[in-house]
């Protein structure tokens, strides 16, 4: 009996007191918040940013502005990381990776290889942000804004909170889903550096797993209303109703709410897509003297001007996507949902170019920001 009890106790504690056999102290790894990928002949030049934490004696704030950039050339990203591990004291750990910056030449030729590595590596989270740069990814990775405490972490926060109204943030999982879906195309924000200042604006467009073109800031702003309204630009500037003069007068409009819809209709064997956008807002800045008789007239005129501006920008954006044959708005999904038989018969690779687009923008302005003085006094 005692022998059975002893054996039971041994087996019981064997499974309950196993401990963390694969435990690894975090300080024994190099935590990498950002990776840059450039072209290097037939190889990839992979750069990692390894922060050097420092504590301010005055504020007590820990900063990671100082960092070491390590670059190695290899056939694959994993091979380059393994080469770094041979040369560094501690292994590279990608579990805290937040940003991946891809040079546009790599995005044109080796995007599948890069995505395959990122999606298969168990350390890399699917919420990591992807960006494209026309510059050297290594140089972008090394840029340090004097106002930033932790450059890569601050960039991640900027993308997460949507602080750039000229870019649409895209995570690894979002991009992969859009890219591999037959009825849509992938997009990524474009990042550049100038005087160590990082700027995220414009949009890189992908089709058939290759970078095929870009959308400028205005195209990206109107595209945001349909893909991610939460990040849509809150301010727009239009011409005022002032009489013609040497000095151009403008009105600033702050948008408060927006709603967008995409409707498709099959007519005479052709797809017609209607883009509807509704905005409400208020005037934030405008001239003290105006050619109209009342504030309400000013509101109506400003709304008409903004409708005209957004309609033109939407039409320009749609035209560019059709020239690139990139169904960014996923019109194919709407067609497949409403007309599945038609979608199965048509070659959507060529069908998107033939879509007839109609744009409808409605802006309502009912107020203006309060002023501290009465200009009529």
Q: What is the CATH number of the domain that holds 230?
A: 3.30.300.210
Q: Which residue has the tokens 């702003």?
A: 221
Beta strands in 114-159 (DSSP E): 129-133
For the stretch 22-35, pLDDT in tens is 556 667 788 898 99
Neighbouring residues of 110: CB distance < 8 A, sequence distance ≥ 6: 39, 44
Same domain for 183 and 202?
yes
For the stretch 181-223, pLDDT in tens is 777 789 999 999 888 888 888 999 998 888 999 999 999 999 9
* Domain assignment present for 363: yes
Same domain for 260 and 371?
yes
Task: Give the separation between CA 272 and CA 264, rounded to whole angstroms.
Answer: 6
**What domain count does the chain have?**
2
Q: What's the whole-number mean pLDDT along residues 219-232? A: 87
- Measured N-to-C along each axis, helices 295-323 and 217-227 cross at an angle, to the nearest 10 degrees, of 100
CB 225 within 8 A of CB 260: yes
Same domain for 237 and 166?
no
The length of the chain in residues reads 377
* Chain centroid offset of residue 268 CA: 38
Same domain for 160 and 242?
no
Residue 252 has pLDDT above 50, yes or no: yes
* Domain assignment present for 20: no
In which band, very low, low, confident or very high, does the pLDDT at 327 lie, cut at 50, 70 and 90? very high
- Concatenate the DSSP letters of all residues of 270-328 into one string: EEEEEEEEEEEEEEEE--SS-SSSSHHHHHHHHHHHHHHHHHHHHHHHHHHHHHTT--T
Flag the least confident range among 166-175, 215-224, 278-287, 321-330.
Answer: 278-287
Question: Cα separations (Å) of 118 from 76, 113, 218?
Answer: 11, 9, 31
Same domain for 164 and 130?
yes
| Number of Cα atoms under 13 Å in the Cβ half of residue 87 | 9
* Domain assignment present for 7: no
CB 283 within 8 A of CB 302: yes
Which of 165, 200, 215 marks a domain boundary? 215
CB atoms inside a 10 Å sphere around CB 350 = 9
* Domain assignment present for 18: no
Same domain for 347 and 285?
yes
- pLDDT for 150 equals 67
Domain residues for the domain of 153 are 26-215
* Domain assignment present for 15: no
* Domain assignment present for 57: yes
Task: Give the separation between CA 65 and CA 52, rounded to whole angstroms.
Answer: 7
Question: Cα separations (Å) of 361 from 21, 67, 279, 315, 358?
Answer: 61, 48, 8, 11, 10
pTM for the predicted model, two decimal places: 0.84
Same domain for 136 and 173?
yes
Which of 180, 215, 250 marks a domain boundary? 215
For the stretch 130-162, pLDDT in tens is 999 999 999 999 887 776 666 777 777 777 666
Same domain for 202 and 223?
no
Task: Give the separation between CA 36 and CA 69, rounded to whole angstroms.
Answer: 10
Same domain for 174 and 46?
yes
Task: Give the separation between CA 377 and CA 375, rounded to whole angstroms.
Answer: 6
* Domain assignment present for 348: yes
Which of 168, 191, 215 marks a domain boundary? 215
Same domain for 65 and 144?
yes
CB atoms inside a 10 Å sphere around CB 83 = 15
Neighbouring residues of 135: CB distance < 8 A, sequence distance ≥ 6: 103, 192, 193
325 dihedral zone (left: phi>0; alpha: psi -120 to 50; beta): left
Same domain for 60 and 189?
yes
Same domain for 283 and 356?
yes
**pLDDT winner (highest mean) among 48-52, 76-80, 181-185, 344-348:** 76-80
- pLDDT for 73 equals 96
Residue 351 has pLDDT above 80, yes or no: yes
* Domain assignment present for 12: no
In which band, very low, low, confident or very high, does the pLDDT at 53 lie, cut at 50, 70 and 90? low
């Amino acid at each position: 009996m005692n022998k059975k009890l002893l054996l039971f106790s041994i087996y019981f504690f064997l499974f309950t007191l196993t401990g963390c056999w694969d435990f690894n102290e975090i300080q024994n790894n190099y935590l990498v918040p950002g990776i840059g990928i450039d072209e290097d002949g037939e190889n990839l030049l992979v750069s990692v940013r390894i922060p050097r934490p420092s504590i301010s004696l005055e504020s007590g704030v820990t900063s990671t502005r100082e960092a070491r950039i390590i670059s190695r050339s290899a056939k694959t990203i994993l091979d380059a990381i393994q080469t770094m591990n041979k040369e560094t004291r501690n292994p590279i750990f990608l579990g805290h990776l937040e940003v991946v910056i891809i040079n546009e030449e790599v995005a044109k030729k080796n995007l599948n290889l890069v995505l395959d590595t990122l999606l298969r590596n168990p350390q890399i989270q699917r919420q990591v942000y992807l960006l494209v740069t026309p510059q050297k990814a290594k140089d972008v990775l090394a840029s340090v804004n004097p106002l930033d405490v932790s450059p890569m972490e601050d960039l991640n926060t900027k993308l997460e909170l949507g602080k750039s109204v000229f870019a649409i943030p895209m995570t690894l999982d979002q991009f992969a889903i859009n890219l591999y879906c037959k009825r849509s195309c992938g997009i990524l924000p474009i990042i550049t550096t100038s005087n160590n200042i990082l700027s995220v604006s414009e949009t890189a467009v992908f089709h058939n797993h290759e970078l095929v073109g870009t959308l400028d800031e205005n195209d990206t702003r109107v595209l945001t209303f349909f893909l991610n309204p939460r990040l849509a630009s809150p301010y727009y500037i239009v011409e005022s109703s002032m009489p013609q003069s040497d000095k151009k007068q403008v009105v600033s409009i702050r948008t408060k709410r927006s709603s967008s819809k995409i409707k498709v209709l099959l007519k005479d064997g052709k797809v017609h897509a209607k883009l509807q956008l509704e905005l409400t807002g208020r005037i934030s800045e405008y001239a003290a003297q105006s050619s109209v008789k009342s504030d309400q007239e000013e509101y109506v005129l400003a709304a008409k001007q903004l409708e005209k501006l957004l309609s033109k920008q939407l039409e320009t954006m749609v035209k560019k996507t059709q020239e690139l044959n990139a169904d960014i708005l996923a019109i194919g999904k709407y067609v497949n949902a409403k007309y599945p038989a038609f979608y199965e018969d048509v070659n959507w690779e060529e069908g998107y170019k033939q879509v007839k687009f109609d744009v409808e923008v409605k802006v309502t302005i009912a107020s203006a920001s309060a002023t501290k003085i009465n200009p009529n006094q």
